[in-house]
């Protein structure tokens, strides 16, 4: 059995040289490069401040009861799954050390050149980001699934309609070669193809930030502090440039969060598009002078999902109960995509797998919805005690994911409790969603399956429209641009001052920077932008901000 050791601590210092807020694809990259550059320097060190908990592989949920306990809420601020149902847009993000990498579907795709339109600042385009993407790939080591996976072949029908062939995707998973180690030397077993990637990999085969960038940052001297949520930033006291304000959360039930302050010379915000924008909005309310564009250019990356329910033949679209030894090889959550993008429009369609902990709940939800169909497989799913493996309607079902380019016309605002909320009336009425649903419906028709086109329809939630889109890739809110009249940050992630120039020592490195959809899974794009920002921060700004003992190297 593979043994893993925690990286994090509860010990939050009163001050540091560099405070990195968050631990996702932007924050982890930036923290690692800054820590490598300042290792050994007498500057006060790098502190990573993460609001969530630390999740080792054995901690991830393996049944629906555990998933429910892991949903983040006001009463459960340390929950892994941050699911928010909104009037305009639903969103699901991660809450834990490693950010979205803990529950993402492992796909590492570069954004196509046409993504970088006039909304992006000069100097940020596909060619400029390519060397940084290669740097990320050297750390995350993506592989391609080369084994037959029936759920991937299901894309062939839609491909024939459009005259295109599905392709296998680069995945941050150890798929070949037996047990090994990540780029940071963390033990990594080979993937068992259980299909449960997005509720957290209990096998340890998923290549996450917790197994790559973060242990590298720790080895370079960074301190990783968990259960500490930064709420806002103000001008510094105690001899440091900035003061971070926030709340400490406690595992023991009933204890109220306790306030904290952390003084730092450099603050790097990487709490995700929603989290970072929320911090900046609260900071602006406390006097930070930022762009009037703060909160704008929110995009849901045109994410959509559907279920082809109860097809004529068995699918491998449901995760295995036994993750160590699956009954059948399902494969990683996503293995393949049909690329229907053209210019600045179109979309990707990807095969998916419902993780077992979620599938078991959906089995009854969908079974009850279609109980009047008189189908024996549906009744099998509803029968107390279940049926032999493979005979139920859910084993004959398949989940699909799509993403593309929306208008990025959403806004992030603060509600009455100071929490970020997405405002985007008629977001679901955009043409991109209609085109996606048309193609997703074709996939169901080709399999002689029932089409379930929106999670809202499956949940039968009252009082909210069934067309409300859900995003697992929120972007924007603190968009980069050429000047303060058009965005919140410059091309190097520096937060722009309302009167011109930048706020010295205040940076954004995550998906909040993206002024448009990326048209694909955005993890690699975000990490590439963070690598670029970190390189410039280290080589140009850090010595001036912290002193001459800082090195300008540190890039692997």
Burial of 173 (0-12, 13-18, 19+ CB in 10 A): buried
Q: Is residue 11 part of a domain?
A: no
What was the pLDDT predicted at 41? Answer: 59
pLDDT given for residue 362 in this prediction:
87
Distance CA 512, CA 93 (A): 13
Comparison of pLDDT for 173 and 452, the residue scoring more? 173
**Pick from 413, 404, 467, 409: which is nearest to 432 by CA?**
404
Residue 434 CA to residue 348 CA, distance in Å, equals: 14
Tokens of 489: 């940050």
Q: Which domain holds residue 487?
A: 16-546
Q: Domain holding 152: CATH number?
A: 3.50.50.60
Summary mean pLDDT of the chain:
93
Q: In whole angstroms, what is the distance from residue 308 CA to residue 244 CA? A: 47
Q: What is the bridge-based pairing of β-strands 81-84 and 90-94?
A: antiparallel
State the pLDDT confidence band at 315, using cuts at 50, 70 and 90. Answer: confident
Per-residue pLDDT, averaged over 241-266, amounts to: 92
Establish if 7 belongs to a structural domain.
no
Cα 11 to Cα 53: distance, rounded to the nearest angstrom: 14
Structural tokens at position 247: 């709340």
Per-position DSSP letters for 301-368, written without gaps between them:
TT-EEEEEES-SS--S-B--SSSSS-SS---SS--EEEE--BTTB-EEEEEE-B-HHHHHHHHHHHHH
pLDDT at 549 exceeding the cut of 80: no
The pLDDT value recorded for residue 386 is 67
Determine if residue 197 is left, alpha or beta; phi over 0 gives left, psi from -120 to 50 gives alpha, anything else beta.
Answer: alpha
Question: What percentage of the chain carries pLDDT values higher than 70?
Answer: 94
**For 116-169, what is each residue's pLDDT tens digit?**
999 999 999 999 999 999 999 999 999 999 998 888 888 999 999 999 999 999
Could you report the per-residue pLDDT of 155-206, keeping only the tens digit for each?
999 999 999 999 999 999 999 999 999 999 999 999 999 999 999 999 999 9
CA torsion sign for 536, 49, 297, 500 is negative
Residue 282 belongs to some domain of the structure: yes
Percent of the chain with pLDDT over 90: 77
Higher pLDDT residue, 43 or 424? 424
pLDDT in tens, 62-96: 999 999 999 999 999 999 999 999 999 999 999 99
Residue 492, pLDDT above cutoff 90: yes
Of 429, 353, 86, residue with least CA distance to 199: 353
Looking at residue 325, its pLDDT comes to: 78
DSSP category for residue 87 = S
Cβ contact 43:221 at 8 Å: no
Name the token pair of 44.
């006060």
Q: How many C-beta atoms lie closer than 10 Å to residue 94's C-beta? A: 25
- For the cut 70, the answer to whether the pLDDT of residue 519 exceeds it is yes
Query: Exposed, middle or buried, 270 (CB in 10 Å: 0-12/13-18/19+)?
Result: buried
Cα distance between residue 114 and residue 539, in whole Å: 30
371 phi and psi, to 5 degrees? -60, -30
pLDDT at 555 over 60: no
Residue 385 CB partners (closer than 8 Å, separation 6+): none
* Predicted pLDDT of residue 404: 97
Q: Which residue has the tokens 């491998």?
A: 316
- Residue 473: count other Cβ atoms within 10 Å of its Cβ: 25
| Residue pair 246/236 in contact by the 8 Å Cβ criterion | no
- 6 pLDDT above the threshold of 70: yes
Give CA 460 to chain center in angstroms: 26
Nearest to 355 by CA among 200, 148, 210, 205: 200
Residue 58 has pLDDT above 70, yes or no: yes
Quick one: pLDDT at residue 454? 76
Over 80: is that where the pLDDT of 40 sits?
Answer: no
Residue 551 pLDDT: 58
Q: What is the dihedral of CA 240, 241, 247, 248, to 10 degrees?
A: -40
Assigned domain for 10 exists: no
Query: Model confidence at 548, in pLDDT bands (50, 70, 90)?
Result: low
CA dihedral 451, 455, 460, 466 (to 10 degrees): -90
Residue 458, CB half-sphere, CA atoms under 13 Å: how many? 21
Cα 84 versus chain centre, distance: 14
* CB-based contacts of 376, cutoff 8 Å, min separation 6: none
Residue 480 lies in a domain: yes
Q: Are 403 and 519 in contact (CB under 8 A)?
A: yes
Quote the tokens at residue 167: 């392709």
Please say if the pLDDT value at position 455 is more than 70. Answer: no
Strand order in the sheet with 450-452: 167-168, 336-339, 347-352, 398-404, 304-309, 450-452
Section 503-516 average pLDDT: 99
Q: What is the pLDDT of residue 458?
A: 60
Q: What is the pLDDT of residue 13?
A: 96
pLDDT band at 365 (very low <50, low <70, confident <90, very high): confident
d(CA 121, CA 515): 9
**Average confidence (pLDDT) over 256-285:** 98
| pLDDT bucket at 279, cuts 50 / 70 / 90 | very high
CA–CA gap between residue 152 and residue 337 (Å, rounded)? 8
Residue 317 pLDDT grade (very low, low, confident, very high; cuts 50, 70, 90): confident
| Least confident among 39-43, 130-134, 384-388, 543-547 | 39-43
**Does any domain span residue 339?**
yes
User: Per the structure, how many domains does the chain have?
Assistant: 1
Q: Angle at Cα 421 formed by Cα 420 and Cα 427, nearest 5°?
A: 145
Spell out the residues 6+ positions from residue 41 whose beta carbon is closer than 8 angstroms to its own.
546, 547, 549, 550, 551
Report the C-alpha gap between 215 and 222 in whole angstroms: 9
Residue 302 lies in a domain: yes
- The pLDDT tens digits of the residues spanning 380-410 come to 888 877 677 778 888 889 999 999 999 999 9
What is the Cα–Cα distance from 84 to 387, expressed in whole angstroms?
A: 34
483/83 Cα distance (integer angstroms)? 34
Name the H helices within 100-256: 126-140, 150-153, 156-162, 213-219
Kindly report the pTM of this predicted structure: 0.96
Half-sphere exposure of 46 (CA within 13 A, CB side): 32
Tell me: pLDDT of 1 over 80. Answer: no
Residue 42 has pLDDT above 60, yes or no: no
Q: Is residue 6 part of a domain?
A: no
* Sequence-ordered strand ranges (E) for 136-277: 143-144, 167-168, 170-171, 180-181, 187-188, 223-225, 228-235, 242-248, 258-269
Those residues with Cβ within 8 angstroms of residue 374's Cβ, 6 or more apart along the chain or in another chain: none
């Amino acid at each position: 059995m593979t043994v893993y050791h925690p990286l994090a601590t509860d010990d939050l210092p009163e001050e540091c040289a560099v405070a990195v807020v968050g631990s996702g694809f932007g924050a982890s990259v930036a923290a690692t490069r800054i820590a490598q550059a300042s290792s050994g320097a007498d500057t006060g060190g790098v502190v990573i401040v993460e609001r969530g908990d630390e999740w080792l592989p054995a901690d991830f949920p393996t049944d629906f009861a555990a998933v429910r306990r892991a949903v983040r809420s006001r009463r459960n601020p340390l929950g892994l799954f941050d699911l928010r149902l909104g009037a305009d847009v639903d969103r699901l993000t991660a809450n834990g050390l490693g950010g979205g990498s803990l529950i993402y579907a492992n796909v590492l795709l570069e954004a196509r050149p046409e993504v970088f339109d006039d909304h992006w600042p000069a100097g940020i385009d596909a060619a400029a980001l390519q060397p940084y993407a290669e740097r990320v790939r050297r750390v995350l080591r993506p592989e391609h699934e080369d084994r037959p996976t029936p759920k991937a072949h299901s894309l062939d029908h839609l491909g024939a309609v459009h005259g295109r062939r599905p392709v296998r995707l680069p995945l941050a998973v150890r798929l070949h070669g037996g047990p090994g180690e990540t780029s940071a030397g963390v033990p990594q077993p080979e993937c068992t193809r259980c299909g449960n990637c997005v509720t957290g990999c209990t096998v340890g085969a998923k290549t996450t930030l917790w197994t790559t960038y973060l242990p590298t940052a720790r080895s370079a001297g960074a301190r990783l502090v968990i259960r500490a949520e930064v709420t806002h930033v103000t001008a510094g006291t105690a001899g440091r440039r900035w003061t971070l304000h926030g709340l400490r959360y406690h595992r023991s039930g009933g204890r109220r969060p306790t306030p904290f302050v952390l003084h730092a010379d450099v603050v790097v915000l990487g709490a995700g598009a929603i989290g970072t924008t929320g911090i900046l909005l609260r900071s602006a309310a406390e006097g930070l002078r930022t762009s009037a564009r703060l909160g704008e250019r929110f995009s849901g990356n045109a994410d959509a999902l559907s279920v082809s329910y109860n097809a004529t033949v068995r699918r491998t679209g449901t995760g295995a109960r036994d993750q160590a030894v699956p009954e059948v090889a399902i494969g990683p959550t996503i293995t393949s995509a049909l690329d229907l993008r053209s210019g600045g429009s179109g979309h990707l369609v990807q095969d998916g797998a419902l993780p077992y902990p979620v599938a078991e709940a959906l089995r009854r939800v969908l079974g009850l919805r279609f109980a009047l169909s008189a189908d024996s497989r549906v009744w099998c799913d509803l029968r107390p005690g279940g049926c032999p493996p493979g005979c139920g309607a859910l084993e004959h079902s398949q989940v699909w994911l799509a993403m593309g380019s929306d208008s990025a016309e959403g806004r992030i605002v603060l509600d009455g409790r100071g929490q970020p909320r997405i405002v985007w009336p008629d977001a679901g009425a955009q043409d991109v969603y209609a085109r996606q649903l048309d193609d997703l419906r074709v996939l169901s028709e080709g399999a002689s399956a029932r089409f379930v086109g929106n999670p809202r329809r499956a949940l039968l939630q009252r009082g909210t429209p069934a067309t409300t889109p859900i995003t697992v890739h929120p972007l924007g809110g603190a968009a980069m641009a050429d000047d303060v009249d058009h965005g919140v940050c410059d091309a190097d992630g520096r937060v722009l001052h309302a009167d011109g120039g930048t706020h010295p020592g205040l940076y954004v490195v995550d998906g909040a920077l993206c002024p448009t959809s990326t048209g694909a899974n955005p993890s690699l794009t975000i990490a590439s932008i963070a690598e670029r920002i970190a390189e410039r921060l280290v080589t140009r700004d850090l010595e001036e901000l912290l002193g001459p003992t800082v090195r300008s190297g540190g890039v692997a």
